[in-house]
Structure 1
Amino acid sequence: MARSLDGLVLAPVADQAPGQVGTRTRFSYHEQGGVIWAEYTGGDVVRGHLVGTRAGDRLDFRYVQLKTDGTTSSGHCASQVGETSDGRVRLTETWEWESQEGSGTSVVQEVAPG
């Protein structure tokens, strides 16, 4: 199993569609006993939260966010935990909106120290 996500800050490696999570978004992860949660903000997201579970190297969670235009949205994500070539945590994600149309894939990884 990859190391704990607790206390890690992760960021997307690429921008998604306008009005969604992007490279300026930061996720602050927590993990305890198979439960994961995170707060996120940045870019078009004023405040976001995710909560779910971890089983080995698989995450399954729901997310909800408030955007700068005052709208809210929510969805579901399944992620595979891995590592970058320099040992940082990387999540390969498959997500789907539940409050609107749309789905896709994305990669977030631990922000490099410094």
Structure 2
Amino acid sequence: MARSLDGLVLAPVVDQAPGQVGTGTRFSYHEQDGRIWAEYSGGDVVRGHLVGTREGDRLDFRYVQLRTDGTTASGHCVSSVTELPDGRVRLDETWAWESADGSGTSVVEQLR
């Protein structure tokens, strides 16, 4: 199992579609006893929160966010946690909106 996410700051490696997270978004993660949560903001996201669980190297969480245009959105994500050769953490994510149509994949990595 990769190390704890507690206290780590991660960011997407590429921009997503408008209204979603992008390279300017920062996720501040917390982890305790198999529970994970994070606050995030940046890019098109004014404020976002995620909450879920971790089993081994698998995260399962729900997210909700307020966008700069005043709209809100929510969804579900499952992520695989891996450790990069330089020791940083990477999350390979598969997500789906629950508040609208759409799904996809993304990658976030711990900042250097």
| TM-score, scaled to structure 1 | 0.97
How far apart, in 1, do the equivalents of 2:13 and 2:86 lie?
Answer: 15
Structure 1 equivalent of residue 8 of structure 2: 8
For the pair 1:79 / 2:79, whether they are aligned, the reply is yes
C-alpha deviation, 1:85, in angstroms:
2.3
- Deviation by residue 1:69-96 (Cα, 9 ceiling, x = unmatched): 0000000000000022211000000000
How far apart, in 1, do the equivalents of 2:39 and 2:47 lie?
Answer: 7
SS where residue 80 of structure 1 aligns?
strand
How far apart, in 1, do the equivalents of 2:90 and 2:62 lie?
Answer: 18
SS where residue 17 of structure 2 aligns?
coil
Query: Which range moved further: 79-88 or 54-63?
Result: 79-88
How far apart, in 2, do the equivalents of 1:90 and 1:27 lie?
Answer: 12
CA-based RMSD of the aligned residues comes to 0.4
Structure 2 equivalent of residue 110 of structure 1: 110
Structure 1 stretches (4+) deviating beyond 2 angstroms? none
| TM-score, scaled to structure 2 | 0.99
Structure 1 unmatched runs, 5+: none
Within-5 A mapping of 1:84-99:
84-99=84-99
How far apart, in 2, do the equivalents of 1:85 and 1:105 lie?
Answer: 22
Within-5 A mapping of 1:11-50:
11-50=11-50
- Deviation by residue 1:23-75 (Cα, 9 ceiling, x = unmatched): 00000000000000000000000000000000000000000000000000000
- Alignment length (residue pairs): 112
How far apart, in 2, do the equivalents of 1:22 and 1:97 lie?
Answer: 16
Structure 2 unmatched runs, 5+: none
Seq. identity, %: 81
